[in-house]
Structure 1
Amino acid sequence: MYANSRFISSAQAGIHEQLYGLVGKHATTEFRKPFMPYNRTAFDASIAAWQAHGAKPLILDAGCGVGLSTLNLAAQFPDHFVIGVDQSADRLARNTVWRGEMPANFIKVRADLVDYWRLMLIAGIRPSRHYLLYPNPWPKIGQLQRRWQGHPVFPTIVALGGEFECRSNWRVYIDECASAISQLCSVQVQCEAFATDMPITPFEQKYLDSGHALWRCRASLR
């Protein structure tokens, strides 16, 4: 059955006790992971496509999966250019059902986000809007460093600025994301449950159909 997504089960009921220390460590330690050549190539190609489209205000759809969210964002913000990034060539190659005229103001690119985010920061390119929609929650207590807010790249995500929005069907993930943002910069972060009759990703649709609550945090990282 389609609407059969399991509810997230975790022994962790609140913000991880090690998150604050981990975020602080990553904020003061240089992240020296070497860049992979294919990520540089993908980054350059996507930025060239954006510039060829007039260098409109940029939206980054980080972890776009099959790219349905990228299409929806492109249609919602026709005066922007949307770059959807995912590391899976298989997901990006899948056909997505799209009704209506196909927007032209987007590109999907295969790249590792860890490199892509850092290359964007180094290049001085700042997204107007930045979406992180339904990342893998890694709900086990020992998996904190696999969540984006516990990853060494998280300070880069925040440094990119823009109108940032993260969505998840696990409230703990959203609370942690908001806490990490607040630790790194003095901005107000809005956390809330939300409902929508226009889901923009396949996961959002499936979670809604399965009866899950949806959560998001939003912040103006100016």
Structure 2
Amino acid sequence: MIFILQRRTLQGVHESRVGSLAWNNNILTAGDMDGKIVNNDTRIRNHAVQTYHGHEREVCGLKWSASGQKLASGGNDNLLHIWDVSMASSAHSTGRTQWLHRLDDHLAAVKVLAWCPFQSNLLASGGGVGDRCIKFWNTHTGACLNSVNTGSQVCALLWNKNDRELLSSHGFTQNQLALWKYLSMVKMAELNGHTYPVLYMAQEIQPASAL
């Protein structure tokens, strides 16, 4: 039997729906329907410590880099922001926050974000039904390195931790899975058979003894 104990409730910060979450050590970052992003320090009573303001509509994707120094956020405003951890405003600030990069190449909501495990400044993002593209970004310069039209809504992206491959899952219209070779983005395999969008994926981590 498994017991789940609620450690605490974080409240009093958001006035609208919270649609995205991302951990950065003890900081839980939350994005809401009003476009506000809040860093919550779960160790202290006054947990809302910093905010980021830049999205004009709901924040639907959040992902911290492995170093914990950069945050990528995607929104229903079709925008992708790259933030430096030092650029956050005070918890109760309402003014616009300065971002590292404001990227508007996607033509639909940006819900899917994946930092590359073997190149720290490389970020992959996926667009919704009206976009259907996987884009690759140099987060130092803000340059779009490549864009691939997948033919379907991009629902999830998963980098292979053991090889230079990227797996994408999709919704409308084909509901497929696709395995890509990076950097060429040659499609190595396509898996069809799902009737509905494939929203989530997970990679099994093999123990050292099994390798």
What TM-score results when the alignment is normalised by the length of structure 1?
Answer: 0.27
Identify the structure with bigger relative contact order (alpha carbons < 8 Å, sequence gap 6+). Answer: 1
